[in-house]
Amino acid sequence: MAENTAEKITSFIRERFPEADITETEDIFSLGYINSLFAMELVMYIEKTFGITIGNEDLRIDNFRTVAAMTGLVARHVTPAPVG
């Protein structure tokens, strides 16, 4: 699931910034792709796409600096499917 999550997040960023050739570990804030408006769009996209709610305690810049960090954030909030 993590790979699919990362692909979706990367695709979302590239839709807004077609010139963005980012890896999962690059800091998208330092690359200049993120401003406050896009940061809120990113939060809303993640919540809607993955069916999660990101609480105030998780609205920290470190959770959104990289695709890998966002993938980890999603993984922490997604309820695992029951086994068997």
User: What is the tens place of the pLDDT at every residue in 25-83?
Assistant: 999 988 887 788 888 999 999 999 999 999 999 999 999 999 999 999 999 998 765 66
pLDDT (0 to 100) of residue 1 = 61
Q: Is the dihedral of CA 45, 75, 69, 1 positive or negative?
A: negative
Closest Cα to residue 69, out of 39, 19, 26? 26
Measured in degrees and rounded to the nearest 5, phi and psi for residue 81 equal -70, 145
* Residue 10 to residues 27, 44, 72, 84, Cα–Cα distance (Å): 12, 15, 14, 32
Q: How far apart are CA 76 and CA 20, in angstroms?
A: 26
Question: Model pTM?
Answer: 0.87
- Confidence tier at 6 by pLDDT (50, 70, 90): very high
Q: What is the mean pLDDT of residues 5-25?
A: 91
- Confidence tier at 84 by pLDDT (50, 70, 90): low
CATH architecture of 2-77: Orthogonal Bundle (1.10)
